[in-house]
Chains A and B, each alone.
Chain A
Amino acid sequence: MTSISQTQSAMGTPPVRRALKQRTREGLYGYLMIAPWLLGFLFFTLYPLIASFVIGLYSTNFLNSWKWVGLHWFQAAFSDALVQKALLNTAYFSFVSVPLSSALALIIAVMLNQGIRFQSFWRTVYYLPSVVSGVAVALLWKWLYEPNIGLFNTILAAVGIQGPRWILDEAWAMPSVILIALWGAGGAMLIYLAGLRGIPTALYEAAEIDGASSWRRFWAITLPLLTPTILFNVVLNIIGSWQVFTQVLLMSNGGPNNATLTAVLHIYRTGFQKAEFGYASAQGWLLFVVVLAFVLFALRSATSWVNYDR
């Protein structure tokens, strides 16, 4: 890696040409050094984007049959009740979990930013659930949701409430999955905490001298100055929420009665379980368009609520 060093032989040439040569050399090195990313972009971003559409034009099991079906799968998706159910369920998850978890993360961050004692301890407690995302979380929460002897219904029973059947009940299943997403709000909280620390304290001091209450200070200073961070977070959150998969596969396997069948779970089943990769790919591409639309909407709306003059 270090042996590429060239001897600088440009000593005798006039300064302008030397500078020009320097420029080209730097440009060459520039491209040489971003080559890993450029190749990765071609293979793991550009290729999948194009290929997922092209594969969607075929009926294929990836082994021995490739049959051209044109736009058949794309049309089929629009009249497929299961695809629509999966999209609606995922939209439900996204539209409820994104605002709730963003608000929760913001509230916790603001509370922890009030100059409290043992801040790093509290921060750890709130952030810890985000570190252990995935399979273990799904298994744990399925156990917490156990209707008779699980944690939640035990607590509810202690205060005299007969708890629901959570993940086993068609109406409660999706809210149960959303609750897990809220438990993981710590990741966004850390980002908000970092954003809060970036707000100049002089602004607060000035507001205090002017007699602004802490409530007023929050609405007039904290929130407007935090809007860029909020936008960043919400966009990441929207994208993540449309990919919800592990929890629903492991806790309810899409049930009961498809109440937790999500878009990615349906793509997974269509492709990797029924070996209809063409249809799965078409669905994946349509889902991509949906997610992109919501992300663009969030970014477009940003001009009206995000404060950029920091």
Chain B
Amino acid sequence: MAATAQPEQLPNYRARGLQEILLRVLLYLAILIGAVIFALPFVWMVRTAVMPKFEVFLFPPRWLPSEIVWSNFLNPFKVFHFERWFLNTIIIALFSMVGTTLSAAITGFSFARLRFPLRDFLFVVVLATMILPEHIRLIPNYLLYTKLGWVDTFLPLIVPNWFAPAFFVFLLRQFFLTIPRDYDDAAYIDGCNPVTLFWRIHLPLSLPALAVVNIFQLTFIWNDFINPLIYLHKEPQFTVALGLRLFQGRMSNNMQDLMAASLIAVLPTLLVFFFAQRYFVQGIVVSGVKG
């Protein structure tokens, strides 16, 4: 920029400063209003969940409950095997997480570190399967699991995760690429083969990435609805998400209990998110930006 006389610039700067401040205030205001709008549904959920029954259907509605009824949170457990559904979901999630971690990590390592024919082509195939719509699998897989006799078991919800889901292969491959090559060379000299290199060096070094994988997988499994809906038909086998649907039919006149049940159902994912937010964000950075 050409140098201009100082005195002429000064008032300009001041005006601009004022404008900046005004913009800044507007920015914070917009962010605040947006945040309030995004948070309001949760507020209404909590508010309904702790309300006395008679207040829920009052007209005009009250914003705040006159007293907090904690016992609403106990009611869902009296109607159905709510705790059983939690256990079921945890079992499915745990087995899926172990399978995903092992299979996706070993595959991701191979794509990141080993040279083999057609590797780059196959990796493009991995990426292509990521954009395959889930629904195409619904009916053929149902046929497969019917033939295997797996309907009404947890197997259809667990076993596919032992075959390296593409998204996690991609995520872990991106992570393994960041581990210095020198480590590999050193390990090979020390007599490692690719499997032991993966197991002794890469896996221990990638704990943060594995945390990301497991957090995502836990959330996916916890929120999954259509697969449990298709494969689980007996109430004691239900997952939390599937069982929640039963409350809808049973509790349409007990909105406070329904909201209490929903709140309990989402609590684990919320807790995981709060405690592992860093990993969540990291995972999205790795998977999203380099896509």
Chain B facing A: main interface SS: helix
Option from B61, B138, B273 in Cβ contact (under 8 Å) with A128: B273
Q: A2 near B: Cβ within 8 Å?
A: yes
- Enumerate chain B residues within 8 angstroms of A222, measured Cβ to Cβ: none
Q: B223 near A: Cβ within 8 Å?
A: yes
- Complex alpha-carbon distance, A194 and B247, angstroms: 39
Q: A83 near B: Cβ within 8 Å?
A: no
Asked if B140 and A287 make an inter-chain contact with CB atoms under 8 angstroms apart, the answer reads: no
Given the contacts A128-B273, A195-B289, A47 and B114 also touching, CB distance less than 8 Å: no
- Complex alpha-carbon distance, A288 and B136, angstroms: 7
Q: How many residues on the B side are at the interface (Cβ–Cβ under 8 A)?
A: 100
- Enumerate chain A residues within 8 angstroms of B219, measured Cβ to Cβ: 131
Q: B96 near A: Cβ within 8 Å?
A: no
Q: B291 near A: Cβ within 8 Å?
A: yes
Name the residue of chain A whose CB is nearest to the CB of B114. Answer: A30
Asked if A246 and B226 make an inter-chain contact with CB atoms under 8 angstroms apart, the answer reads: yes
Q: A133 near B: Cβ within 8 Å?
A: yes
- Complex alpha-carbon distance, A77 and B276, angstroms: 46
Asked if B137 and A116 make an inter-chain contact with CB atoms under 8 angstroms apart, the answer reads: no
Option from B164, B224, B247 in Cβ contact (under 8 Å) with A40: B164
- Enumerate chain B residues within 8 angstroms of A157, measured Cβ to Cβ: 60
Contact with A along B241-261 (1 / 0, CB 8 A): 110110110000001001100
Q: A277 near B: Cβ within 8 Å?
A: yes
Asked if B41 and A140 make an inter-chain contact with CB atoms under 8 angstroms apart, the answer reads: yes
Asked if A33 and B31 make an inter-chain contact with CB atoms under 8 angstroms apart, the answer reads: no
Q: How far is the CB of A51 from chain B (nearest CB, A)?
A: 4
Within 8 A of B (CB), among A57-110: 62, 108
- Complex alpha-carbon distance, A67 and B59, angstroms: 57
Of the candidate stretches B64-72, B74-82, B123-131, B204-212, the one touching chain A is: B123-131
Asked if B136 and A49 make an inter-chain contact with CB atoms under 8 angstroms apart, the answer reads: yes
- Enumerate chain A residues within 8 angstroms of B39, measured Cβ to Cβ: 125, 128
Asked if A36 and B106 make an inter-chain contact with CB atoms under 8 angstroms apart, the answer reads: yes
Asked if B135 and A29 make an inter-chain contact with CB atoms under 8 angstroms apart, the answer reads: no
Q: B48 near A: Cβ within 8 Å?
A: yes
**A interface list, Cβ under 8 A from B:** 1-2, 4-6, 8, 23, 26-34, 36-41, 43-45, 47-49, 51-52, 55, 62, 108, 111-112, 114, 116, 120, 122-126, 128-129, 131-136, 139-141, 143-144, 148-149, 151, 154, 157, 183, 186-187, 190-191, 194-195, 197-198, 209-211, 214, 228-229, 232-233, 235-236, 239, 242-243, 245-246, 250, 263-264, 267-268, 271-272, 277, 280-281, 284-285, 287-288, 291, 295
What 4 A-B pairs are tightest by C-beta distance, nearest first? A40-B163, A30-B116, A33-B110, A191-B288
